[in-house]
Amino acid sequence: MELTLTGGQVHDITQANRLLADHKPDYVIADKAYDCDELVAEIKDRGSTPVIPSRAGRTVQRRVLRKQYRQHNLAERFVNRIKRFRRVATRYEKTARNFMSFVQLAALFCWMT
């Protein structure tokens, strides 16, 4: 798993290429926010299988590999666990470097317990 930090107004899909840059996974698992034809095509071009459910407004719904999509729950539970740390949940830190350090510290603490 990788982390990238952006401003609150930045959409998640803008970071997809950056997160996939150095990886060649069998499956790319993401939520509906990443449902974009260009991203799905790029994932397929890399030789990976996209596991991204279609948004409700899409005219042609894509099939989702349910067994692989269940792994998405791990990332969601990770985010919920690190948000138990008040300093991470409320983002007291002014600099991105300091905030990312506390996110990594919270992740390490969750991993150890």
pTM above 0.95, yes or no: no
Residues 6+ positions from 78 with CB-CB distance below 8 Å:
1, 107, 110
pLDDT digits (tens, 9 = 90+) for 21-58: 888 899 999 989 899 999 999 999 999 999 999 998 88
pLDDT digits (tens, 9 = 90+) for 66-95: 999 999 998 889 889 999 999 999 888 889
Alpha-carbon distances of 14 from 9, 71, 101, 106, rounded to whole Å: 11, 22, 22, 25
